[in-house]
Structure 1
Amino acid sequence: MDTTSGKGNGWLFATSFAAITATSFCFILRALVIDSWGVDFALSETQKGELLGVGLWPFSITIVLFSFFIDRIGFRLTLWFAAVCHILGLGLLFTAHGYWQLYAGTFIMALGNGAVEAAANPLIATLFSHDKSKWLNRLHAAWPGGMILGGLLAMGLDTAGGFDWRVKVGLMLAPVLVYTILLIGRKFPVSERVASGVDYRTMLAEAGFISAFILSALIMLEVGRVFALSTFVSMGIAVALTILYAVLSRHPGRPLYIMLVLLMMPLAVTELSTDSWISSLMGPEMAKLGLQAGWVLIYTSALVFVIRIFAGTLIKWLNPLGVLAMASALAAAGLFMMSGATGMAILAAATFYGIGKSFFWGTALGVASEQFPKGGAVTLNMLAGGGMLAAGIVGSVLLGAAQDNSTREGLIRHDAAYQTQLVGTYLTEEKVSVFGRYKALDEAKVAAAPDADKAVLDGLANGARKDALKEVALLPVLTFIAFLGMILYFRRKGGYKPIVIGGH
């Protein structure tokens, strides 16, 4: 079943591309208003990280759940569900009066984002089954494309001045309407797995119950935090869900696939969690150049957009695993450089980082689809779900917590050296995150601080931002080593080759 012919496929690709663009609008516009939310709602850096995180991890709920029955309800209904979530979530953000309303609105929109990807990934793998890595990379060029357009529009509003953050959030509605209109009257095929006659249990067995436990545990840890459940209860629910999956699949999963799920997590943290924070992290250095911090994200997104459109050539030359190893090395170098870069050196550091992260998402999904085609939507979407879970629950909060911890330690050292009382004056009451209890800077008190204190606080905060980038740079170092190991594994088997089903 070669589905690459037929004029309807172009419209289906365009619909999927527009829907992914809408998810990236949600991402970048949230990243560009997070500091405004921090001021208006008196949020700590860790709370801001939690709001950035909840824009990612609920994605995994819908992308994983829809994977189990998307072949029954179809791609069209899944995308309509996404559109409803996006509109409801926007309504909550517009009317928010505090942290939990922002959290709820962002949560619902993230559910819509997950539904988009739950449909788009297996749809494109079905339409272009002859060259999955190439076309999945092209599909996910929509992500940086949306960030470029959304970022330019938002920064244009900043330049014009006088616009409330709600106007920026309202920009999210435009791409949602575009893909909703494209959905009207569109006909969708059945998935590659269904067309090839692979049964449901075989699909579940490809991923296996070990992968199901990894995702269930991560989801329940965050759900438990939000609803104040004990760790015992949260893990008990995760185990129960895993047992249910084990009964249905009767298989622990393919070892290579489980390894891919684990590797997707640091890849996603490196790309998505860093992108969530990059405007805040690079703000002081960009200000010295007279530029808005959002230009770092737009520049790297432009690199990603171009590279993903033309990634197919490099993937054929190096094979997907070679590309992922190379990309990990470049991303690590870029982040280490960015943590200490000043002036125009930021451009060189951002270039390394941007080129590296370009290949992560689409190429990793391509490997899963090419090596485990019998897994259909489940192997594709559990991989993407694992990445979003790690980025949302751990990565975004990790970067925020790293800043809070570094700033707090810096205040303690300053008080000891100069006999001041900055810790008692400017730290909040104790709060709780996924990493435990912590104290952070009270933004309202910082805003009202004397100039001398503010200079100290700003200096410590800037140093904390650089420390956070150094920490996250260690992750692509680990993935580089892992992908080298996988390359050697395939060489012993005669080289990397896509697995074909259904006579493709």
Structure 2
Amino acid sequence: MADNNQSARRLFLGCFTGLVATAFGFAVRNSAEVMDSWATGFQLSEEQKGMIIGVGTYPFAISIIVLSLVIDRIGYGRAMGFAFAGHLISALLTIFAPNFIVLYFATFIYALANGAVEAVINPVVATIHKENKTHWLNILHAGWPGGLVLGGLLSILLMKAGGTVGGKLPGELWQWQMALVLLPILSYGFLLFGMKFPQQERVEAGVSYKEMLSEFGWGSAYIVSFLIVMGISQMLVAFGLSKLSLTAALLISIAPAAVFAFYVNSFGRPMFIFLMLIMFLLATTELGTDGWIQDIMGTVLKNKTTGAWFLIYTSSIMFILRFFAGPIVHRISPLGLLAASAAIATVGLLWLGTAKPVLGMLFAAATLYGFGKTFFWPTTLGVVSEQYPKGGALLLNAISGVGMIAVGTIGGPAIGTMQDRDFTAAVAQALPEVQPQLVKQEKGLFFDYDAIDQKLVAKQPEAVQAQITEIQGKTKQGALAKIAVLPAIMLVCYLVLIAYFKSRGGYQAQVLTGHAANDEKFTGGVPGALEA
């Protein structure tokens, strides 16, 4: 018995460390210092930076959804082996990347590995801790904000150390920052090597494979197919090829959805599909903003290190508050918590996007944003798990996958495009005689547009450069205020869902067997994938 307990503890610790590795990589890759080094070394536009942020998220959906369909056949061990190999190869490719294409491809592999980790750890922890799933899943997913904080802090410390030694480190400093990612990767590989994984809980529960697919339905399959096609379109743009039009993406997505419809003969759960659409907004509000906030705040405050502290700070808030999700959600219901979070995030982003560039005021606004974003993802997973228990891991993984791929293919790049266009327009208004000399044609994911070329800016007189830098800080900060419209729309959606459940007698969790619907083990938010 003692050996079983020790094995379960090591298995849990390995899963926790695997999630830390995914967040650690996210924090280092999206740090302002690393992103600026890439922008300079590889001559990246703001949209290309957005594409790097995007490709670090959307392939997650491919691996988590595909693995959810076959993981009971291939086993958890093989899936985790794929994740470890992907993380290791990606880290090495990134460190030695010679150009944007290799950098993009390496980030793509890392995101695939992240999805593989998530496909494994949620059902594994739910299986080895059946008696108290919500408690242990909360502890497990504290690994995401914990990894963001750890990765951010170590990256900053290494940057300061590199500045102290004054160029004695071989290679570029960002390469050493990326090398830090190897620490949690090798750690979870060591912890999980040779471990025996449990049988999947869905199989033990006796829910048939086809019944699980029917809960998902062809409606959900169409949304996932569309987002994957949009991801392919982004890859085409990254490799200098022509992008797919929106119409083409919508039409191409019909084929896989039709195959799915033929097999399961089910549209799926309408409210689940509605929640999937909300995830477009949720993921951009949370992960999209997290991906950009270091760069934006670093530019506004003219200090990239200070910009990194914003992600560390909001992640610390998330890490602490996640342990208190259960008591809160029992008081106001999962949908009530989502609505409150949307309202707080709206105010926080509006304030963050319009506040004066004073450190204290910006951190106060970031506090509101941190509170607002904390419960979005976990509580959404809680609603899905409570309302659709027959969907098992597939529906949980699908809602997470849709969020990741939506922010990766649409949300993250769109934030970059918005900054590029606003910056160009603001320079044109302030310096109409100079702006035409600074623009270049940018091949965007959604449309082509004019962007400011930083190489041309560097050739301008110092006074003009200073003015342009000031303009860039204001337009970057203003992007956060524009993002605030997303949680505002989410608030309306959650109020509609609250009214719907109220008309049916109130929110009530659905369970398969063994417990009453109001049993505390079956209610409350459950921490979500790659939280954000």
Same fold (TM over 0.5): yes
Indicate whether 1:281 and 2:281 are aligned. no
Equivalent pair of 1:31/1:52 in contact (CA under 8 Å): yes
TM-superposed deviation, 1:15: 2.0
Range that drifts further, 101-110 or 277-286: 277-286
RMSD (Å), alpha carbons? 2.0
Indicate whether 1:172 and 2:181 are aligned. yes
Equivalent pair of 1:193/1:375 in contact (CA under 8 Å): no
Aligned counterpart, 1:12: 11
Indicate whether 1:348 and 2:364 are aligned. yes
TM-superposed deviation, 1:247: 2.1
SS at match of 1:150: helix
Letter in 1 for 2:187: V
Aligned counterpart, 2:350: 336
TM-superposed deviation, 1:503: 3.2
Percent identical: 41
Aligned counterpart, 1:27: 26
Indicate whether 1:45 and 2:59 are aligned. no
Specify whether residues 121 and 192 from structure 1 end up closer, same or farther in structure 2 by C-alpha distance, changes over 3 A only.
same
Equivalent pair of 2:234/2:409 in contact (CA under 8 Å): no
Range that drifts further, 129-138 or 406-415: 129-138
TM-superposed deviation, 1:16: 1.8
Aligned counterpart, 1:313: 327
**CA distance in structure 2 between the partners assigned to 1:10 and 1:390 by the alignment:** 34
SS at match of 1:500: coil
SS at match of 1:409: helix
Q: 1:478 aligns with which of 489, 498, 505?
A: 489
Alignment of 1:375-414 (within 5 A): 375-414=391-430
Equivalent pair of 1:137/1:363 in contact (CA under 8 Å): no
Alignment of 1:104-119 (within 5 A): 104-119=105-120
Range that drifts further, 148-157 or 67-76: 67-76
TM-superposed deviation, 1:493: 2.4
TM-superposed deviation, 1:313: 1.7
Letter in 2 for 1:26: G
Aligned counterpart, 1:255: 270
Equivalent pair of 2:243/2:445 in contact (CA under 8 Å): no
**CA distance in structure 1 between the partners assigned to 2:351 and 2:407 by the alignment:** 22
Equivalent pair of 1:204/1:375 in contact (CA under 8 Å): yes
Equivalent pair of 1:42/1:442 in contact (CA under 8 Å): no
SS at match of 1:431: strand
Specify whether residues 10 and 373 from structure 1 end up closer, same or farther in structure 2 by C-alpha distance, changes over 3 A only.
farther
Indicate whether 1:424 and 2:436 are aligned. yes
Specify whether residues 291 and 27 from structure 1 end up closer, same or farther in structure 2 by C-alpha distance, changes over 3 A only.
closer
Aligned counterpart, 1:238: 253
Q: 1:466 aligns with which of 457, 464, 477?
A: 477
Letter in 1 for 2:197: F
SS at match of 1:292: helix
List alignment gaps of at least 5 residues for structure 2: 237-241, 516-532
Letter in 1 for 2:283: A
Range that drifts further, 389-398 or 182-191: 182-191
TM-superposed deviation, 1:495: 2.6
SS at match of 1:440: strand
Specify whether residues 230 and 150 from structure 1 end up closer, same or farther in structure 2 by C-alpha distance, changes over 3 A only.
closer
Equivalent pair of 1:281/1:465 in contact (CA under 8 Å): yes
SS at match of 1:293: helix
Letter in 1 for 2:216: A
Alpha-carbon displacement from aligned partner over 1:294-340 (angstroms, at most 9, x marks no partner): 11111111000011123222122222211111111111111111012
SS at match of 2:207: coil
**CA distance in structure 2 between the partners assigned to 1:129 and 1:448 by the alignment:** 63
Equivalent pair of 1:121/1:136 in contact (CA under 8 Å): yes
TM-superposed deviation, 1:134: 4.7
Letter in 2 for 1:319: S
TM-superposed deviation, 1:43: 0.6
Equivalent pair of 2:159/2:173 in contact (CA under 8 Å): no
Letter in 2 for 1:13: F
Aligned counterpart, 1:102: 103
Specify whether residues 90 and 185 from structure 1 end up closer, same or farther in structure 2 by C-alpha distance, changes over 3 A only.
same
Equivalent pair of 1:195/1:502 in contact (CA under 8 Å): no
TM-score scaled by length of structure 2: 0.88
Indicate whether 1:140 and 2:151 are aligned. no
Equivalent pair of 2:342/2:491 in contact (CA under 8 Å): yes
Q: 1:210 aligns with which of 200, 219, 226?
A: 219
Equivalent pair of 1:39/1:444 in contact (CA under 8 Å): no
Specify whether residues 137 and 439 from structure 1 end up closer, same or farther in structure 2 by C-alpha distance, changes over 3 A only.
farther
TM-score scaled by length of structure 1: 0.93
Specify whether residues 8 and 250 from structure 1 end up closer, same or farther in structure 2 by C-alpha distance, changes over 3 A only.
farther
Count the aligned residue pairs: 494
Equivalent pair of 2:231/2:405 in contact (CA under 8 Å): no
SS at match of 2:506: coil
Equivalent pair of 1:43/1:443 in contact (CA under 8 Å): no
Specify whether residues 92 and 321 from structure 1 end up closer, same or farther in structure 2 by C-alpha distance, changes over 3 A only.
same
SS at match of 2:443: strand
TM-superposed deviation, 1:287: 4.0
Letter in 2 for 1:19: G
Specify whether residues 139 and 409 from structure 1 end up closer, same or farther in structure 2 by C-alpha distance, changes over 3 A only.
same
TM-superposed deviation, 1:41: 0.9
Indicate whether 1:184 and 2:193 are aligned. yes
Indicate whether 1:267 and 2:282 are aligned. yes
SS at match of 2:148: helix
Q: 1:304 aligns with which of 307, 312, 318?
A: 318
Specify whether residues 291 and 60 from structure 1 end up closer, same or farther in structure 2 by C-alpha distance, changes over 3 A only.
closer
List alignment gaps of at least 5 residues for structure 1: none
Alpha-carbon displacement from aligned partner over 1:89-129 (angstroms, at most 9, x marks no partner): 11211221111111000001110011111112233344455
Equivalent pair of 1:137/1:361 in contact (CA under 8 Å): no
Letter in 1 for 2:225: S
Letter in 2 for 1:480: L
Equivalent pair of 1:86/1:112 in contact (CA under 8 Å): yes
